[in-house]
Amino acid sequence: MEAEMRTLAGWGRTAPSTARVVVPKTVLDVIEALKSADERGVIARGLGRAYGDPAQNAGGLVIDMTGLDRIHAIDADAATVDTDAGVSLDTLMRRLLPFGLWMPVLPGTRQVSVGGAIGADIHGKAHHVEGSFCDHVQSMDVVTADGEVRRLTPDGPDSELFWATAGGMGLTGVVVRATLKLNRVETAYFKVDTDQIDNLDDLMAKQSVDDDKYLESVSWFDSTMTGPHLGRGILTRANHATLDDLPRKLRANPLKFDAPQLLTIPNIFPPGLLNKLTARAFNELWYRKSPTKYGAIQNITMFLHPLDIMGEWNRLYGPHGFLQYQYVIPFGQEDAVKRSVRLIAESGHVSALNVLKRFGAGNRAPLSFPEPGWTLAVDLPAKPGLAELCTELDELVLGTGGRLYLAKESRTTAEALQRMYPRIDEWRKVRASVDPNGIFVSDMARRLRLT
């Protein structure tokens, strides 16, 4: 298994670094790769959809896990799947839907590996009902620093390591295989209710009512408006459509995987394509295109993954890239959410992809991001002054007891992170017990002093 030098970046394309990369095909290959790591250590990488630098290791070794791409078994009776960690959620959905099986937790893209989903403990629009990804992991096989393959379960003898690996950003070992618990569905479609709402106060109030009646719930807000229309937005909530909900033309193939990729964005766009003028125009168009409407039937792409229509859409931000700023702020701090939206709208920095959602209960993982509260995410093009805006947002988030999402984070400080994750020293203790020499390391881990 030969290594090649590769320059790697996160989805935001802001901090590339060069490392030796190997692509194992078996678990034994993973173990051999660990033995070849030098003093710069090693980190696993999936499909590269983390926005920052957690799957990079400048000057060291990166294990590209996409070579472990086998689905071992689908148990339709038990509603479980046994899969390699390099399999994408896109591939899983295509294989599972004919059995009437559904992934309980899906983020805003299907182009995420199972190992990456565990390492980030990803969430989706259903968090208030389903929790995050690792709440549905029955077991995971992890290669630890000593080359041992450990099978971890949520409540087994190694449960501490299970939950340290959940959201642990690959720093406790290499996840090579997992068994996932699934949901059952009658169709691949959603029955969607949409509300167009004129300001942020009303948007949050509406989203706080009856959310538990919907499996999926999310709102988009206009990040360019100020004054009485600050944060106007679109609340979209849905449940899985039943066979009876479908129009006649869709009933012949109700489990069809209707989620095409129509184009790949070329790498030709200059910096500054998203500016005040284009962002305001996009936000206006997006707001006007979604009037209040109830009971619409939408497919996977329309409702869950509209951005997956475009391959490599991050290229639209140009060569300097962008960052996604995502926080969670506890319930009861709604004024802080409003202040953050106003701060962004008045900053001169613009975003078109803006999300606001309510989280349900968190889980036992010390570094898992979700906790009860409001999560907000914006995509901000990299340009002068952005660091100062994000630092100001950091202080607002810290003042509420909130935190940032490690899978999206790309520029905060180690001191801020320590305050955001009060159980981080508990996580460090578990990590040190299985990796005392600090073999597993990444650019993020060095930057945030996680190791």
Residue 407 to residue 52: CA distance in whole angstroms: 7
Tell me the average pLDDT across 329-335. 98
The segment(s) of the chain belonging to CATH 3.40.462 are 190-414
What does the buried/exposed string (b/e) look like for 379-389 if buried means 16 or more CB atoms within 10 Å of the residue's CB? bbbbbeebeeb
Contact by Cβ (8 Å): 368, 167: yes
Residue 255 to residue 110: CA distance in whole angstroms: 17
The CB density around residue 129, as the number of other CB atoms within 10 Å, is: 16
pLDDT band per the 50, 70, 90 thresholds, residue 120: very high
Structure tokens at 91: 């591939």
pLDDT beyond 90 at 261: no
Tell me the average pLDDT across 415-439. 98
pLDDT beyond 90 at 365: yes
Crossing angle of helices 334-345 and 200-207, rounded to 10°: 140
Residue-wise pLDDT tens digits, 154-205: 999 999 999 999 999 999 999 999 999 999 999 999 999 999 999 999 999 9
Which CATH architecture group holds 190-414?
3-Layer(aba) Sandwich (3.40)
Contact by Cβ (8 Å): 343, 392: yes
- Average pLDDT taken over every residue of the chain: 96
pLDDT more than 90, % of the chain: 93
Residue 320 to residue 382: CA distance in whole angstroms: 6
Provide DSSP, 198-223. Answer: SSHHHHHHHHTSSGGG-SEEEEEE-S
**Of 107-121, 277-291, 332-346, which range is least confident?**
277-291
pLDDT band per the 50, 70, 90 thresholds, residue 88: very high
pLDDT beyond 90 at 274: no
CATH, domain range 67-185: 3.30.465.10
Provide DSSP, 158-171. Answer: THHHHHHHTTSTT-
The segment(s) of the chain belonging to CATH 3.30.465.10 are 67-185
Higher-pLDDT residue of 261 and 410 is 410
pLDDT beyond 90 at 1: no
Contact by Cβ (8 Å): 191, 239: yes
The CB density around residue 343, as the number of other CB atoms within 10 Å, is: 14
State the first-to-last Cα distance of the chain, in angstroms, to the nearest integer.
28
* Beta-sheet strand order (sheet of 373-381): 293-298, 190-197, 233-240, 216-221, 354-359, 373-381, 322-330, 403-404
Contact by Cβ (8 Å): 223, 278: no
Residue 307 to residue 299: CA distance in whole angstroms: 13
CA distances for 135 relative to 10, 139, 358, angstroms: 26, 11, 18
Which pLDDT value is given to residue 150? 98
Tell me the average pLDDT across 74-78. 98
pLDDT band per the 50, 70, 90 thresholds, residue 451: confident
pLDDT beyond 90 at 339: yes
Contact by Cβ (8 Å): 131, 361: yes
pLDDT beyond 90 at 272: no
φ, ψ for residue 72, nearest 5 deg: -80, -40
Structure tokens at 77: 């009776």
CA distances for 337 relative to 4, 229, 231, 248, 446, angstroms: 45, 15, 10, 43, 30
Residue found under tokens 């390591």? 161
Which pLDDT value is given to residue 260? 82
Its pTM stands at: 0.97
Tell me the average pLDDT across 124-141. 98
pLDDT beyond 90 at 273: no
Residue 74 to residue 122: CA distance in whole angstroms: 22
pLDDT beyond 90 at 259: no
Residue 142 to residue 173: CA distance in whole angstroms: 6
Tell me the average pLDDT across 375-397. 97
Tell me the average pLDDT across 420-430. 98
